[in-house]
Structures are given as structure tokens and as C-alpha cells.
């Protein structure tokens, strides 16, 4: 039976679910796109603020499915914040498109809800439920612009491959349930305690689960969909996939491994180390060949998930701190980069070719500076949050003796520096006028989007210069 405290602990999830229903009612009443977007923005802000209200209850369990602790609240904060920023960037992007963008906000709330459910899951049922809420919403969001054939193509590719990955995940869960007799993480951990190595059936189930989750995280060798979907999806949706979607899946993977103490099993660690090294190298090498900025950032995201695995694999307390800090830096920089692309995109097509950014600084100096800062942070240049994040990842890896992972991270980061600088040099070359000065159709929303991206840029620099405040907050986390 639900108690009063249960409702308080579930407030962020209830607000997100209720917001999707409320937006549907606003659509039925035939509110304008502007009214629905502003209402959605307020609802996202309300959901985000509710996280501060539930802090007094943390840690709190809702048996047997959910665990609400400092870590899950932090990840939910990043996810809801990403949804809020994507919401702001979406108005300018969708307002002049052919399709009515109103239902888009319903799907955005549902996807955010699914990612948040993943962040608090401690049971296979809640894990699969959250994953399907997230994935089904993404099917529609990716193919939302029906007039663009490559949007439909991207949606179909994601639909087919996501269905396959869900099948692998379900089969893996079934095998683990058959072996252990439970689907709750803590009960599975109790079953595994006496075993010095994994039973064959459990190992098979874990392998199948890693295939399913690996697809959602877009790590090598489950990355083949990433570039096509990133390119084909509307730019704000791409930003959401790159941040909130992956953040939720990574959070539940971390909780599962820590709960069952999966770090003591050498076979699992060998698999994760291989995936991390392959993701870092393949992601950066494939990005070198790209002339499309969205595809370049897609392969870059594969490499960044490899970096996160470098911090995650040691399984130490410092590992979780490094993962949380790097996730924050990655969310901020990725949202900023795709926010700039969304603002520069036109009615017919996105501004996604590197040549589109030639001499951008001379026409849009603020946007060029914001984009440059985000790319430098992704490259791990000092005085940015990305640099500090990579420093903590290296420290977590070296502290526990994972020298090969650390060396691969350094070498692949050097490779990645090239393609980030290629975009930056293009923006500051000139003085050719590629972007003609035109009258802004929605100057107020253009200003709001510019202010939001500027704030994100300041946060990237602030956490790069003064990371101690965020790290002090993160060091208090415990995953039970």
C-alpha cells in the first residue's frame, strides 16, 4: 500500500507523467505551439525543483522496484535538466517546420520519465519498464519530421535495432532469473556471494544483457546505428538521445554492477575493458573521416562512453565520483553543441555540414564562441569541465592499476583533438559571409535560447576552473 512518503519520493516521476497528460489536454483544447512550449517549460522546471524537495527523504526505497538515493536524484536532475534545455531549443527549431510540433512535447515528457525510471531502478521489471517508455517515445521523436525522408529512415533503423536489443535484454534477464530465482538486484547479489566465479547460465544471461544495454549506450560493437540516427533525427532529439537517454541506461548499469559486486568477476571485467578500448579507438578514428557535424558528434559520443567506462571499470568509490563529474561535463557540452546546431538550422535542412560553419565567427560571434567552448570541452582542453572530467577518469583508472585503459584514453583523446579543432578553425576562418544577416522571426525565443546556451557555456568554464564545489557535492553519494 502506498504511503504519504512514497508519493513524496515519487514526486519527480509523478510530475513528469502528469505533465504529459496535461500537455495532451492543452493540445485537445487547441492551445498554440507557443503556449504549449511555455507550459512544458514551466512543468519541466517544476519537476526539476521537486528533486530538492525529496532530498529530506533520501535514501528511500519503494519495494521491490525503486531505490531513491543521492546518486539516483543526481542522475534524475541531469536528465530532467537535459529535457528542459531540449525543450527550450525546440521552439525555434520546430516552429517553422511543416509538421505540427505540439505532440512533440508529450513524447519529450514520456522519454524523460522513462530515463528517470531507469535511474531509480533496482529490479529487472522497473528496468525494462523504464527502458521501453524511453525507447518507444524515441521511435516517434526520431521520425517526427515526416517530410524529410532520412528522418523516417533513421526512425525505422532505430525501431528495428532497438527491438532486437530489447529481445537480447529480455532473454538475458530470463536466464538470470532462471539461475537465481529473483529479479531484484540485491537478491541476485545474495545468490552470487558464495561463488568465486559466475555460473555459466548466469554468465550467458549477463552477456545477453550487455548486448541489449550496449546498444542503448552505443558502445562498440553495438554502435552501427548511431551516426545514421544522430544525423536523421531532429537536432533537439539528437541532443536528448546523446544525453538523457544514455545517462539513464548508464545509471542502471552502474547500480546493477555495484549491487552484485560484478567487479570481482574477471570475465565481466575483461568484456568491459575490451568494449571500452574499442569504443575509444573506433569512435575517434571514425569521427576523423566525417564532414557532417552531427555524424562527427555521434562517433565522438561513442568515444566518450568509452571514457566513462574507464572510470566505471575499477569499481572504486572514486570511480562513481569520476563518472558523475564526467557525466555532468558531457551533458553540458553536448547540450550546448547541439543547441548551437539547432539555432543555426533552417526550415528545409539542418546546419550539419562543416562547410556551413565556415566564417561563422564573423556573422555570429557569440554562437561561434559558445560552439568553440563546447568543442574544446569535449576535446578535454584545460579550463573546461571536460578537461577536469578526464583528469578524474584518469585518476580513477590509474589508482587501481588500469594502465592500458588510461594509455588508450590519452592516445585516443589526442586523435579526437584533430576533428574538434577542424570545426573550430573553420568557424574562425574567413572573412567570407556564409550566414547572411536576416530578420529573426522569433527574436524573443532566439534571445532566450542564446541566453540558455551562454549560461551552459559559463557552467562549462566554471566547472573547469572551480570543480571543487561539484566534487564536494558528488563525494557524498552512496549507492546502496
Q: What is the DSSP letter of 129?
A: H
pLDDT over threshold 60, residue 432: no
- Picking from 96-105, 221-230, 252-261, 327-336, which range would have the lowest pLDDT averaged per residue? 96-105
Cα angle: 106, vertex 111, 115; to 5 degrees? 150
- What band does 480 get if pLDDT is binned at 50, 70 and 90? low
- pLDDT at position 349, please? 76
Over residues 143-162, mean pLDDT: 82
| Average pLDDT, integer, range 295-299 | 92
Instruction: Please say if the pLDDT value at position 435 is more than 50.
Output: no
Helices in 97-148 by DSSP H: which ranges?
Answer: 102-119, 124-142
Digit-coded pLDDT (tens) for 159-213 = 888 888 899 999 999 999 999 888 998 899 898 888 888 888 999 999 999 999 9
> Is 121 in a helix, a strand, or coil?
strand
Residue 479: predicted pLDDT: 65
pLDDT of residue 1: 65
Alpha-carbon distance 137 to 63, whole Å?
A: 27
Provide the pLDDT for residue 86.
92
> pTM of the entire structure?
0.93
Task: Find which of 32-36, 98-102, 239-243, 316-320 is predicted with most confidence, using mean pLDDT.
Answer: 239-243
Binned at pLDDT 50, 70 and 90, residue 265 comes out as confident
Q: Can you tell me the mean pLDDT for 131-151?
A: 85
The C-alpha cell of 471 is what? 566534487
> Does 82 have pLDDT greater than 90?
yes
**E strand spans, 276-432:** none
Q: Check: CB of residue 68 under 8 Å from CB of residue 50.
A: no
Phi-psi region of 28 (alpha: psi -120 to 50; beta: other; left: phi over 0): alpha
| Cis-peptide into 59, omega within 30 deg | yes
pLDDT category at 437 given cuts 50, 70, 90 is very low
Q: Would you say residue 389 has pLDDT above 60?
A: yes
Average pLDDT of the segment spanning 116-130:
92
Percent of the chain whose pLDDT exceeds 70: 95
Residue in this structure with the C-alpha cell 546493477, named with its chain if needed: 256
Which residue's entry shows cell 538486484?
185
Looking up cell 528522418 gives 151
Average pLDDT over residues 106-112: 92
pLDDT at 373 (0 to 100): 92
Q: What would the pLDDT profile of 34-72 be if each residue is shown by its tens digit? A: 888 889 999 999 999 998 888 888 788 888 888 888 888
Which pLDDT does position 439 carry in this prediction?
A: 46
Average pLDDT over residues 26-31: 84
Q: Helix axis angle, 246-260 relative to 293-312, nearest 10°?
A: 20
Q: Which residue has the higher pLDDT, 64 or 239?
A: 239
Is-contact 332 459, C-beta < 8 A?
yes
Domain ranges of the chain: 1-160+226-254, 263-480
Binning pLDDT at 50, 70 and 90, where does residue 398 land?
A: confident
Q: What is the reported pLDDT for 210?
A: 92
Burial profile 185-198: b = 16 or more Cβ within 10 angstroms, e = fewer? bebbbebbeeeeeb
Q: How far is CA 386 from CA 161, 312, 333, 467, in A?
A: 31, 17, 8, 11
Q: What is the pLDDT of residue 325?
A: 92
pLDDT at 436 over 70: no
Of 81, 117, 40, 86, the C-alpha closest to 238 is: 86
Average pLDDT over residues 119-140: 91
* Residue 203, φ and ψ in degrees, nearest 5: -65, -40
CA distances from 157 to 72, 136, 141, 154, 358 (A): 31, 13, 13, 5, 32
What does the pLDDT look like over 302-355, one tens digit per residue?
999 999 999 888 877 888 889 999 999 999 999 999 999 988 887 777 778 888
**pLDDT of 450-459, one tens digit each?**
899 999 999 9
In degrees, rounded to 5, the angle at the alpha carbon of residue 39 between the alpha carbons of residues 38 and 40 is 90
pLDDT over 80 (residue 99) = no
Tell me how far apart the alpha carbons of residues 222 and 184 are, in angstroms, rounded to a whole number: 26
- 342-351 burial, b at 16+ Cβ within 10 Å, e below that, comes to bbbbeeeebb
pLDDT of 448 higher than 90: no
Cross-strand pairs, 67: 61
pLDDT (0 to 100) of residue 153:
85
- Write down the pLDDT at residue 377: 92
Residue 213 burial (CB count, 10 A): 22
Rg (C-alpha) for the chain, rounded Å, is: 21
Amino acid at each position: 500500500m502506498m504511503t504519504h512518503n512514497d508519493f513524496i519520493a515519487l514526486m519527480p516521476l509523478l510530475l513528469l507523467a502528469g505533465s504529459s497528460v496535461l500537455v495532451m489536454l492543452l493540445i485537445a483544447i487547441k492551445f498554440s505551439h507557443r503556449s504549449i512550449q511555455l507550459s512544458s517549460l514551466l512543468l519541466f522546471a517544476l519537476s526539476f525543483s521537486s528533486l530538492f524537495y525529496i532530498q529530506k527523504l533520501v535514501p528511500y526505497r519503494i519495494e521491490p522496484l525503486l531505490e531513491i538515493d543521492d546518486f539516483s536524484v543526481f542522475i534524475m536532475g541531469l536528465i530532467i535538466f537535459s529535457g528542459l534545455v531540449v525543450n527550450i531549443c525546440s521552439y525555434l527549431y520546430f516552429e517553422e517546420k511543416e509538421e505540427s510540433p505540439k505532440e512533440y512535447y508529450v513524447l519529450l515528457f514520456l522519454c524523460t520519465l522513462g530515463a528517470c525510471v531507469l535511474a531509480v531502478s533496482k529490479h529487472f521489471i522497473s528496468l525494462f519498464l523504464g527502458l521501453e517508455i524511453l525507447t518507444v517515445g524515441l521511435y516517434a521523436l526520431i521520425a517526427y519530421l515526416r517530410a524529410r525522408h532520412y528522418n523516417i529512415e533513421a526512425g525505422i533503423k532505430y525501431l528495428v535495432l532497438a527491438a532486437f536489443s530489447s529481445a537480447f535484454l529480455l532473454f538475458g534477464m530470463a536466464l538470470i532469473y532462471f539461475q537465481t530465482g529473483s529479479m531484484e538486484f540485491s537478491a541476485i547479489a545474495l545468490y552470487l556471494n558464495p561463488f568465486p566465479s559466475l555460473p555459466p547460465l548466469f554468465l550467458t544471461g549477463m552477456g545477453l544483457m550487455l548486448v541489449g544495454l550496449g546498444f542503448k549506450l552505443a558502445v562498440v560493437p553495438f554502435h552501427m546505428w548511431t551516426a545514421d540516427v544522430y544525423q536523421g533525427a531532429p537536432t533537439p532529439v539528437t541532443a536528448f538521445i546523446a544525453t538523457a537517454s544514455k545517462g539513464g541506461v548508464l545509471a542502471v548499469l552502474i547500480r546493477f554492477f555495484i549491487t552484485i559486486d560484478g567487479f570481482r568477476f574477471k570475465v565481466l571485467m575483461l568484456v568491459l575493458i575490451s568494449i571500452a578500448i574499442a569504443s575509444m579507438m573506433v569512435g575517434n578514428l571514425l569521427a576523423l573521416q566525417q564532414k557532417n557535424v552531427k555524424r562527427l558528434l555521434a562517433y565522438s559520443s561513442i568515444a566518450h562512453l568509452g571514457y566513462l567506462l574507464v572510470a566505471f571499470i575499477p569499481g572504486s568509490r572514486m570511480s562513481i565520483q569520476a563518472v558523475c563529474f564526467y557525466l555532468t561535463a558531457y551533458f553540458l557540452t553536448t547540450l550546448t553543441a547541439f543547441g548551437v546546431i539547432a539555432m543555426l538550422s533552417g526550415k528545409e535542412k539542418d546546419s550539419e555540414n562543416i562547410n556551413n560553419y565556415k566564417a561563422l565567427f564573423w556573422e555570429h560571434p557569440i554562437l561561434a564562441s559558445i560552439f568553440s567552448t563546447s568543442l574544446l570541452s569535449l576535446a578535454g582542453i584545460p579550463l573546461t569541465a571536460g578537461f577536469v572530467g578526464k583528469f578524474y577518469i584518469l585518476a580513477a583508472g590509474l589508482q587501481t592499476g588500469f594502465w592500458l585503459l588510461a594509455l588508450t584514453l590519452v592516445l585516443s583523446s589526442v586523435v579526437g583533438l584533430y576533428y574538434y579543432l577542424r570545426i573550430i578553425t573553420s568557424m574562425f576562418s574567413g572573412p567570407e559571409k556564409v550566414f547572411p544577416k536576416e530578420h529573426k522571426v522569433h527574436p524573443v525565443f532566439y534571445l532566450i535560447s542564446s541566453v540558455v546556451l551562454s549560461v551552459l557555456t559559463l557552467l562549462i568554464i566554471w566547472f573547469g576552473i572551480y570543480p571543487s564545489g561539484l566534487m564536494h557535492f558528488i563525494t557524498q553519494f552512496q549507492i546502496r
